[in-house]
Amino acid sequence: MALPENKKVLRDSTQSVKMWVYGEPNIGKTTFANQFPDALMINTDGNIKYVDSPAVDLIGDGKTDPWENFVNYVDEFLKGGHTYKTLVLDLTEDIYQYARAYYCKKLKVDHEGDLGFAKGYDIVRNGFLYPLRKLANSEYNIVFISHEMATTVKDRVGRETTIYSPNITEKVAKKIAGMVEITGRISIQSSENEAGVIEDKRILYLNSTKDQFCGNKIPTIKVDYIELGYDNLINAIKGGK
């Protein structure tokens, strides 16, 4: 296998965007993903009534396994020969549960913990992450969507803090965050306008804070958050404010 030429490569960071976005239900995650160009949605919760991107579900007629359907859709998408530019996984944690059910059935156990010494957990986690890694290394825009999980923790003096993170196990979350360029949380920001009226805006946070699991690897992003929207995201990636 030949090595590439030792020459700097100029890459467009607005192309092949890989991101993971999460937030509470009905806050606009699917609508946001629908704004990506030529998107195909792999949908698990039926929440596609008000978006116009083509979509497939994983249950189908119930005769084939949802996890196997997911793997087949990913492989077919990555073959190319279509006009899609974006693949959306909505919801990522549901797909993880399909993987759990598939591997537990394959291993003939009721729960992955039945194998002991974390063996089952490793099999499920590695099996689930493999097709996600293929997507993360592809030439397409990839958007993983998750619901939000809120956890209340106390410090040594009893002060409580609510931590927001994607609704998936911590080990899996860290792996997915490592694959993507942006892990963002959607929230609502309220402010008073000049007329004294309170207005709510949906905000996409791009950088981590002490109370939310976020972050990005794109050096041109100079802002901590943007008003939710695909065009605003691309503007931020280009270094805009």
Q: pLDDT for 145-201, tens place per residue?
A: 999 999 988 878 878 889 999 999 999 999 999 999 999 999 998 877 777 778 889
The percent of the chain in helix, strand and coil, each rounded to the nearest 5, is 30, 25, 40
Record the pTM.
0.92
Other C-beta atoms lying within 10 Å of the C-beta of residue 25: 10
Residue 96 to residue 129: CA distance in whole angstroms: 9
Q: What is the pLDDT of residue 205?
A: 97
Supply angle C-alpha 203, 205, 207, rounded to 5.
165
Residue 102 to residue 241: CA distance in whole angstroms: 45
Q: What is the pLDDT of residue 160?
A: 85
3-class SS of residue 54: coil
Q: Containing H/E element for 77?
A: helix 66-79
Q: How does pLDDT run across 224-234, given as a tens digit for each residue? A: 999 999 999 99
